[in-house]
Every structure is written in structure tokens, then in C-alpha cells.
Structure 1
Amino acid sequence: MSAPLPPSLHFAFEARVACAPALRIGRGEREEVWFTPITGGTVEGPRLRGTVLPHGGDWSVTRANGTELDARYLLQADDGAVVDIRNRGFWVSTPEVEARVDAGDPVDESEFYYRTSAQFQTDAPQHEWLTRTVVVGVARPEPGFVCIRFHELA
């Protein structure tokens, strides 16, 4: 029996997702629910190029130990195909780092944990690979944007 094949990651594309200000929905005294509208953006990379459509948003639940994210929105490839993405993940940082991010200060990615796992739907044959591939994201905040580098897990 041979040794298991170790997993590897291959860069697929980066999405620069434009966001409107978050809306606090509220709930409970130990957590807060927020909705962040997605207003557009770009998709650039070797496996997918196009735009982020201004439809959808990110529902997040913030607790003392971090934030759980659940975003759903649409991408439109340069060839016209529409791709539905559901991107779930976690943001974990210290209150000090969070304050620096909120102020728009540059923060090194080693100072926070911002990771996602994406699932896609499309009937476009040229993008079918998205519907049958495990895709993980490494995200970073920028003023007005969330930038996510998506990688295929091989």
C-alpha cells in the first residue's frame, strides 16, 4: 500500500468584492448578526476572469471568539456565464487588530485568520470544474473591499 497523496493548493483566481457598509441586525447579548451587501467587484486569475455582480451579501455572526461568515453572491465570467457562489468561513482577530482594520490602517495578514470554503453552481460547461472541486479561500480586508484568493485543493 502506498503512502497517501498529500493535498496541495493551486491558485485559481482572486475576487475583489466591493461591499456597502454593514447593517447590524442584532440578536442576543453574546452575539451580533450583521448583513453586508455586495455591490460589485472583479475576478482575475488563471482559471476565471470576470466581475462580481451587485447581488447578494454576507451574513455574519460575531461572538467573543470570532466571526462566522456566510456569503452568497454571483460572479459573471468574461464569457458571459453566471456562477452562483456560497462562501463560508471565519474571521478571527484581536480587538486591537479589528480596530486597525476598521480604521483603514494596513494590517499584515499574519495578524488575523480569514479563511473560507466556497461552493459553486453553474450550468456553463466551461466552468463545470467549479462545481466538482474543493475550493478554499484566503481573504484580506481592504477599505470597501474583501479580497479573496481562491485555491483549488488537489
Structure 2
Amino acid sequence: MAESNGLLEPTLEFVFELRVEVSEPIRVGRTASEDLNVTPIVGGTIDGPRLRGKVLGVGADWWVTRGATTQLDARYLIEAEDGSAIDVVNRGYWHAGPELEKRLFGGEAVGEDELYYRTAFAFQTGSEAHRWLTEAQFVGYARPEPGFVCIRVFRLG
């Protein structure tokens, strides 16, 4: 029998998909090394085995591009089907080379496997039914769709 060293291999449990509706980004400014923009969040949906509801039109994603990498910092509210409010902090990274960005901006659909668009979540809520969101780490695989950012959210085990 193999000896256990107490180390775990990570597992992921799919919990829901966010379809976050966004409006046009607001450009804040550019320096020699970075470009800051803010994308308002105006709505959306949540659908999955552990959570259903809607994304409220409250919040935005502040993103800074440095070279080919964009750092994301989004904060918004979601409302579960039972009416519970849940605060979302979602931070991550987007990285696409020039050819992939050209395809994206040309309106071509790009899969999660082609684009490094990964996020990590922190949730806050006073709802006992949704307390599980505040007690674990969640990660997301994101992809852009016209007018939306779609994120499949997983609980890290």
C-alpha cells in the first residue's frame, strides 16, 4: 500500500454559469506601461446545479492592460432565485496574442481552450441558504460573447 504524504490533488465541482451583461468600456487613461478601462455591468443571469438567479445592474470591471496581459478586478451583485443578495468580487487575468485578439475583435467566437481568461471569486452574503459560497474558493473559466462575459464557476476541492 502506498504511503500517504497528506497532499491533495485539486478537484473542481461545477456550480453555475454566470452570463454577465456588460456595456461599452469607459477608457480612463493610458500611461507608457498600462491602459486602464472600466466596463459597467448592467445585468445577466446565473444558471447551474447549485445556484440560479440574476446579475443585478450594479457594479463594474476595472481592468488594466500591460502588454499582452490584462488584469481584471470586478465587483457586482447577484440575486439568487430566493431573493437573497450576494456580493461578488471576481479577479483574474486575460491573455491573448495578437492573432487571437484580431479574431475576437473581428467577431469570431473563441473557446475557453484558446484564450487564457481565468478568474477567482470571493462571495459575501447574509443568507444561510447560500452560506456555502462564503466557505470555499471558487474559480472560473471565462469567455467573451457579444455583450456578455460568460464564466463557468467551479468550487475548488
Q: Answer yes or no: is 1:33 the counterpart of 2:36.
A: yes
Is contact 2:69–2:93 with CA below 8 Å preserved after alignment?
yes
Structure 1 CA distance, aligned partners of 2:137 and 2:57?
25
Paired amino acid for 1:48: L
Gaps of 5+ in 2: none
Residue 91 (structure 1) shift: 0.2
Match of 1:42 among 34, 45, 48: 45
Q: Answer yes or no: is 1:151 the counterpart of 2:150.
A: no
Residue 44 (structure 1) shift: 0.2
Paired amino acid for 1:134: Q
Q: In the alignment, what sits opposite 2:112? A: 109
Paired amino acid for 1:33: L
Structure 1 CA distance, aligned partners of 2:109 and 2:38?
24
**Which structure: larger Rg?**
2
Paired amino acid for 1:143: P
Q: In the alignment, what sits opposite 2:142? A: 139
Q: In the alignment, what sits opposite 2:67? A: 64
How many pairs does the alignment contain? Answer: 154
Residue 30 (structure 1) shift: 1.6
Residue 131 (structure 1) shift: 0.6
Q: Answer yes or no: is 1:128 the counterpart of 2:131.
A: yes
SS state of the match for residue 109, structure 1? Answer: coil
Q: Percent identity of the aligned residues?
A: 53
Structure 1 CA distance, aligned partners of 2:102 and 2:20?
21
Match of 1:13 among 16, 38, 47: 16
Deviations 1:5-63 (A, max 9, x none): 21200000000000000111013122100000000000000111000000000000001
Structure 1 CA distance, aligned partners of 2:39 and 2:102?
18
> How big is the alpha-carbon RMSD for the aligned residues of Structure 1 and Structure 2?
1.1
Structure 1 CA distance, aligned partners of 2:66 and 2:145?
22
Match of 1:81 among 84, 87, 106: 84
Structure 2 CA distance, aligned partners of 1:50 and 1:32?
33
Residue 65 (structure 1) shift: 3.2
Q: TM-score, normalised by structure 2?
A: 0.94
Gaps of 5+ in 1: none
Residue 96 (structure 1) shift: 1.9
